[in-house]
Chains A and B, each alone.
Chain A
Amino acid sequence: MMKRTLLIAAAVLGLSAPAFAAGETPVPPQLKWSFQGPFGTFDRAQLQRGFKVYREVCASCHGLSYVAFRNLSQPGGPEFSEGQVRALAAEYKIQDGPNEAGDMFERPGRAADRFPSPFPNENAAAAANGGKAPPDLSLMAKARTYERGFPWWITDIFRQYSENGADYLVALMNGYHEPPQGFTVPEGGHYNEYYPGHIIAMPKPISDGQVEYPKNEAGQPQVPETVDQYARDVTAFLTWTAEPHLEARKRLGFQVMLFLIVLAGLLYFTKKKIWARVGGEVDGHATPPMTHNP
């Protein structure tokens, strides 16, 4: 009853909680991203760090099956060198075949291969993970969002806020806490502040200091080796895997907008000039339609 009252109150205030929410799922904080806004670009170093986090932590359970090794050296991404990508791909074993004898065989990966998934199939993934297969991460940054509510869904259009998924992912990775008093977490579940319903199958995925980051001259990590920083870096990387042409899109968008605005301006003055002829008297070419008018 209390929950319903809260829901109605939220709806009246225009906060409108989603149907599934337990009422008190907090809103993920909006972070600053290098790729937000009309001129946003990825931070190469961040993508490379994010890839390292994916590879050393996430990849043990989550696939990245829409991404090919070669994508890592393409413009607009982490931009590893082609040599680095070839060496990286060769570290993976890829199943290929059948060969001339009709047998499947394993070979070292090539740049053109896609990331092999950690489990041979979804059932195997589910069986190894308490009955729920860990989802593929290629599109994760576009496949998750959170409720914005009125009036933010309108202001978002003008602010070009489309980092909902990224903000949610960082909040989720930072959202592992002890459950509040009286909240029972079933076996195999884990409490997460930001997960809808609060019970998530994935255990806390990463801890401070777990992944080693590149060092500066003083021997210190360039960025802090904390859960929050790992979460931001891997989320930036997953935003790129979900939208590998984001930079090209925004760049082309600016050129298209510029062209269209200039064209519209020229057309506006052309239109004005043509219509100026229709001052008071009309050309006289026009004749009324010959069919019936009441």
Chain B
Amino acid sequence: MSQHPTTYVPKSALGRWFESRLPIAGLVHSSFVAFPVPRNLTYFWTFGAILSFMLVAQIVTGVFLAMYYTPNANLAFQSVEHIMRDVNYGWLIRYLHANGASMFFIAVYLHIFRNFYYGSYKAPREVLYILGVIIFILMMATAFMGYVLPWGQMSFWGATVITNLFSAIPLVGETIVHYLWGGYSVGNPTLNRFFSLHYLLPFMIAGVVALHVWALHVPGQNNPTGIPIKSGKDAVPFTPYATIKDIFAVVVFLIFFAYWVFYMPNYLGHADNYIPANPAVTPAHIVPEWYFLPFYAILRAIPDKLGGVLAMGAAIVIWVFMPWLDTSKVRSTAYRPLYKQFFWVFVGVCLVLGWLGSRPAEGWYVIASQICTVYYFAHFLIVLPVLGFVERPLPLPNSILESVMGVQKGGAGMPAGANAEPQSKG
């Protein structure tokens, strides 16, 4: 996927004939075989492969579910139970798909926070990173609409609460909501269009993923030191090194995934969603899926409806500006002693926001949500720009190879390298 010409020459005559007409084998070879990978990548760099696997798994299980699912407000709930009870291994496919959504988000959050920690969003990877943010937003839309499809109580009321948010937009809000609903309340037309879009969006995600991978292959991967590959000694070819490591990581992730599917399949969902949707009865406690909880807490922290919606949107959109908000020349937090502390505080704040999102919006919880929301934005708008000026980073190693060897010889925890030269390169 990178533009540089490949040295790949097919072995067979047929291969050479085909290659001169469509050089797809050369593209794969240069992208996934010969592609140079920093030799010091940790397992935090395997989430790209894990996420690709999860996208395919969700699409495959989803296609099978769609063969039995009926997107009709009177039949949807029944059709899901039909899948669970009567379809051969229907329970397995449904639990894989439902829990797969959660696994997808666990992996994407680890992927995103790895990127935050090692400064992968910084030049020259801004476009790669922004494509990732777009994928995340598409994932959120897909997951939300997917949760509506079983047409249980939480499906219905979650859809009602979230679609109603758009009514906060001045002038056009009401109209937008009516288009989302296909009527004047959440009903059968809503379910139909959500099903249609839930089937469409994953393929849009796949398209943006292709761009994301393409954009990755231009500058190459970041690594734990944050310094670029300088010579062949800093890198290993993608195959077999990254390939085998990624496969191993995917299988370990599958063990984690299987644990939920086979032993705790309903833990990550809501009991209320096993009650058929009933517009006349509101559940005691409307809560979104766990992966939306931090954003839900930000939404509810603002007493004003429009303000809350804007804050929730801004909480994700602000990510797009990170490459320019972060003024530090050093990518990896491993060499940023001050930022390292702020990073972990930020992680803590996000987790607390998630917990607060699951609590009722009353009393003490609201105040805590407001404090965390302020800190969340301060992290991007104050901490990131200011630290770049006031922080004294640790000396960077001269090369990836040196950092690897330094660890092997000294056994020091940080590859900071005693013989590193002062920071001069990004």
Contacts and interface: CB of A to CB of B under 8 A. Distances in A.
Interface string B341-366: 00000000000000100011011110
10 contacts: A20-B284, A142-B266, A143-B272, A143-B274, A160-B263, A267-B244, A271-B244, A275-B245, A278-B241, A288-B228
Nearest to A284: B232
B81 interface: yes
A260 interface: yes
A294 B241 contact: no
B230 A288 contact: yes
Contact of A291 (B219, B247, B275): B219
A256 B262 contact: yes
B131 interface: no
A229 to B, nearest CB: 25
A282 B235 contact: yes
Given A4-B363, A242-B274, A294-B124, A287 B232 contact: yes
B330 to A, nearest CB: 12
Given A245-B91, A271-B244, A293-B228, A196 B258 contact: no
A8 B364 contact: yes
A7 B360 CA distance: 11
Contacts of B143: none
A237 to B, nearest CB: 15
Interface stretch (B8-16, B159-167, B193-201, B248-256): B248-256
- Chain B interface size range: 35 or more
B262 A260 contact: no
Interface stretch (B32-40, B202-210, B389-397): B32-40
Contacts of A156: 267
B150 to A, nearest CB: 11
Nearest to A139: B274
B398 to A, nearest CB: 15
B274 A289 contact: no
Of listed B217, B230, B267, residue having the most chain A CB within 10 A: B267
Given A142-B274, A271-B245, A285-B237, A19 B39 contact: no
Contacts of B220: 288-289, 293
B36 A288 contact: yes
B159 to A, nearest CB: 19
Nearest to B231: A288
4 closest A-B pairs by beta carbon, nearest first, are A253-B262, A19-B360, A143-B274, A286-B36
Contacts of B2: 289-291
Given A66-B81, A271-B248, A293-B124, A7 B363 contact: yes
Nearest to B275: A143
Interface of A: 4, 7-8, 11, 16, 18-20, 38, 66, 71, 135, 138-139, 142-145, 150, 156-157, 160, 162, 164-165, 196, 242, 244-245, 248-250, 252-254, 256-257, 260-261, 263-264, 267-268, 270-271, 274-275, 278, 280-294
Interface in B19-67: 34, 36-37, 39
In the complex, which of the residues A157, A248, A263, A293 has the most CB atoms of chain B within 10 Å of its own CB atom? A293
B265 A249 contact: yes
A198 B251 CA distance: 48
A281 to B, nearest CB: 7
Contacts of A253: 258, 261-263
Contacts of B39: 278, 282
Given A19-B285, A196-B284, A252 B262 contact: yes
A250 B262 contact: yes
Given A257-B262, A287-B232, A244 B37 contact: no
Nearest to A264: B251
Contacts of A8: 363-364
Contact of A275 (B84, B124, B241): B241
Given A254-B262, A260-B251, A286-B235, 19 more contacts: A11-B365, A16-B359, A18-B284, A18-B285, A19-B285, A38-B263, A143-B275, A165-B271, A249-B92, A260-B258, A274-B241, A275-B244, A282-B234, A287-B34, A288-B235, A292-B124, A293-B219, A293-B229, A294-B228
